Amino acid sequence: MKKYCCTLLVCLLVLSLVLTGCSGSGVKTGTKAGIYTPGTYTAQAAGFGGKVSVTMTFDANAITDVKIEGADETPAVGGKAIEEFPGMLMEAQSADIDGISGASYTSKAVLAAAANCVAQAKGEDPNQKTSVADGTYSGQAPGFSWTGMIKADVTFKDNAITDIKVVEEQETYTGEIFYTILDNYIPRILEAQSLAVDGISGATLSSNGVRGCVEQAIEAAGGRSSEWYGEVAKSTKIVKKEGYDVIVVGMGGSGITSFLSAAQAGAKVFGIETTAKLGGQSATTSGPMAANSKVKMDEEFGGKEYIDADALYKAWNDYCGADAKPEMIRMAIDESGETLDWMIMDWGFQFSPMSSFILSPYPDWKIWCYYGGETKNRFGTNKTYMFENAVKKAQDKNPAAEYMLELTAQELLMDGDKVAGVKAVYHDGTIYEIYGKTVILATGGFIGNTDMMNEYLDGPANTVAMTVDDGDGIKLGLSAGGALMNPDIPPMVHINQVANLIKNNDLDADGKQVLTSLAIATDALAVDGTGKLWNTREEICLAPQYRYYNIYTAAQIEEIKTKGLAKVNKSMFMDQGGTVEAGKPIANIDEILKVGADYKNVLVAESADDLAKAIGCDGAALKGSLNGAGGPYYAVICSGYAYATCGGLNVDDAMNVLQADGSPIRNLYAVGQDSMGVLFSSDVPYTPYGGQAQSWALTSGRLAGANAAKYAMGK
């Protein structure tokens, strides 16, 4: 991941320093002759996406250097804040400063770690905690949900946290991942008595929200939350597991179907999943494409085929041109119906009647279906339980089928030039060396890997997805000699919203709705990141950095203030509520835009040159696009929210990873987003027929599991 590292060297007058806390280590030099023991000290605290590290250098009476690293913070928000903090800390000569608006989690991490460094330099115990009063105190903080915050009651007794109870949340309406917070994260905080406990993979934002609630409760009880980041010990154990036929890396949709298929074939299988639940991204998607499923033909179409598979193949192949592999497109279509039948008949999955996709250019093609079932969340029915039940059914039939959650693959184990297994790390630090005859890579692509997004695409994207899909499987395949296929295919984007969702109460639901309407309006003057006019009907995944700018003049904003919005626009799937009506005056539009600017959703500029500088584009191009429209200007950023990347490892029809010369790595397979580049083109967006990615995840997994089991068992 990209590192943000900022250094500032200068000597200033010293102010009194008071904060202490979080884990850290120091290298002392010289003798104490003033306020500090001269030397360099380092500490870490949990930020928005991961650990934030602060290194501070002191002479006897001053802070002389500050370096901050936060590899996993969001580049546009947390990363920018990290760039600003060294100067702020140096100027104040103190860690007792305000955070940066819009980057609250990164700010808290930086200031907690800085306070720890100060405590070390002053010779104080950084793990010494200010006493907190007994009792129950409340906190409220944003998590993953964009429709409401997490509220928790935290109980203290004898300077210890004795209970954390979530009393309000909207997280479960966006999926089942929040239950991993209740079952795993909260108990670990209570056990460790530390907020330095790692967040739950796949539920980072929900982890942040609960941590934020506890921080507020500590402050309300008279303590300092920065002091509750004591280091959490990690295991140094190494565990060896041997004798497996098939090892599946990733237990989302493609990994689970790989697991089910291999287990069904009688193989000894071991599944590795980095999150704390099964299902991965497939548990949040709507459903798959399925061409001529026999179950669906019998139930809904009188036993007749409901799609001309040849016509679908021709349209798909023509759309992608020579960039995709025709034989793999053919296989994806022809095997998709059988996959749906297999999931229904063998594993108990439920699906809705076949329908056409809302964005499909072929509205008569009923090739897409939703996952079925009775329980629902914001993304449709609850898929997690279906995946869990299928895995349990496989284990009941084949006791040699195992899996572990919160286990992250680190590298492939090799026997010479042959893949021999997987080295992985458990959430507590325990290293697992898992040996087997075949390995299937099913880690969901690289949407969460900033470095890979920068290398292969146009930089990191906002996501509606779990950013735990960070390219691990693709990197493992490359390490074994595998080759890539179309890694530069634009990511899958179906949702537009403001660039930085405002999840707290700085704006009410109506204010957020107004900001969204301005951002995603299709009739505004829009420019892309180069300053050129942008057609808002175009796929936003083709725009530079997957965003564009809707520009409004001061006169237009004044008209909205007095006459209201001509049309209220709502974001598909990511609407934040609100009851704004078209044509109703919005008297507080100035305040809405101000908060939008604080969260870097709105750029305010007096002149075209100033606006070009704020966007980072060519002034002449922007002036041409403005076509004489006068300032001041308000550029409201519209951002695409991606589900996943599309390109990955090159594979053949057995799902074997291919080397650069086209030869297969016989015991290494790649499925789902880790190999979907064989189906699409770098020149056009993801296919618009509905459900191709989910279908490929399920179908490629079914085929790879069977093929890997057959190879491993010598059948």
- Domain termination site, one of 86, 121, 156: 121
Q: Which residue among 595, 624, 643 closes a domain?
A: 643
Q: Given a cut of 80, is residue 250 above it in pLDDT?
A: yes
Cβ atoms of 540 and 462 closer than 8 Å: no
Domain match, 23 and 110 both: yes
Q: What's the domain count of the chain?
A: 4
Output the pLDDT for position 573. 84
Is 264 a domain residue? yes
Identify whether residues 569 and 659 lie together within a single domain: no
Given a cut of 80, is residue 32 above it in pLDDT? no
pLDDT of 591 reads: 98
pLDDT band at residue 75 using 50, 70 and 90 as cut-offs = confident
- Residue 331 falls inside a structural domain: no
Strand-strand pairing, 547-553 and 525-527: antiparallel
Residue finishing a domain among 121, 149, 168: 121
133 versus 12: which is more confidently predicted?
133
pLDDT for the residue 15: 31
pLDDT digits (tens, 9 = 90+) for 352-395: 999 998 888 999 999 999 998 766 655 567 789 899 999 999 99
This prediction's pTM: 0.89
Residue 465's CATH number: 3.50.50.60
Predicted local distance difference test score (pLDDT) of residue 90: 94
Confirm if 245 and 255 have CB atoms less than 8 A apart: no
Domain check: are 371 and 468 in the same one?
yes
- Do residues 467 and 591 share a domain? no
Give the three-class secondary structure for 151: strand
**What is residue 42's predicted lDDT score, i.e. its pLDDT?**
95
Least trusted range by pLDDT, from 68-72, 303-307, 522-526, 582-586: 68-72
426 and 483 both lie in a single domain = yes
Model confidence pLDDT, tens digit, residues 85-108: 999 999 999 998 988 877 888 998
Specify the pairing of strand 269-272 against strand 376-377: unpaired
What confidence tens digit (pLDDT) does each residue in 168-185 have? 999 987 778 899 999 999
Question: Is residue 457 domain-shared with residue 470, that is, in the same domain?
Answer: yes
pLDDT 10s digits, 591-601: 999 999 999 99
Residues contacting 396, CB < 8 A, separation 6+: none
Tokens (6 digits) for 252: 């989302």
Predicted confidence (pLDDT) at residue 6 exceeds the cutoff of 60: no
Same domain, 63 and 82: yes
Q: pLDDT for 333-357, tens place per residue?
A: 999 999 999 999 999 999 999 999 8
Residue 311 lies inside a defined structural domain of this protein: no
Q: What CATH number is associated with residue 181?
A: 3.90.1010.20
Token digits of residue 560: 């909205």
Q: Give the CA angle between residues 347, 348, 354 to the nearest 5°.
A: 110
Residues 649-659 have pLDDT tens digits of 999 999 999 99
Cα(515)–Cα(511) distance, integer angstroms: 6
CA 452 to chain centre: 14
Instruction: Give the whole-angstrom CA distance, residue 537 versus residue 549.
Output: 13
- The predicted pLDDT at position 7 comes to 37
Provide the domain limits for residue 582.
Answer: 493-643
The reply to whether 155 and 280 lie within a common domain is: no
Does residue 166 sit in helix, strand or coil?
Answer: strand
For the chain, what is the total number of helices (H) and then of strands (E)?
18, 26
Same domain, 254 and 382: yes
CATH number, residue 631: 3.90.700
Ranges of beta strands (E only) in 524-595 are 525-527, 547-553
How far is it, in rounded angstroms, from Cα 463 to Cα 362? 27
Token readout for 638 is 């519209």
Lowest-confidence pick of 19-23, 291-295, 669-673:
19-23
**Contact by Cβ (8 Å): 439, 412:** yes
Residues 6+ apart with CB under 8 A from 10: 64, 90
| Average pLDDT of the segment spanning 155-167 | 98
Residue 5 has pLDDT above 60, yes or no: no
Query: Is residue 310 a part of any domain in this protein?
Result: no
Q: Are 247 and 436 in contact (CB under 8 A)?
A: yes
The residue that leads in pLDDT, 217 or 44, is 217
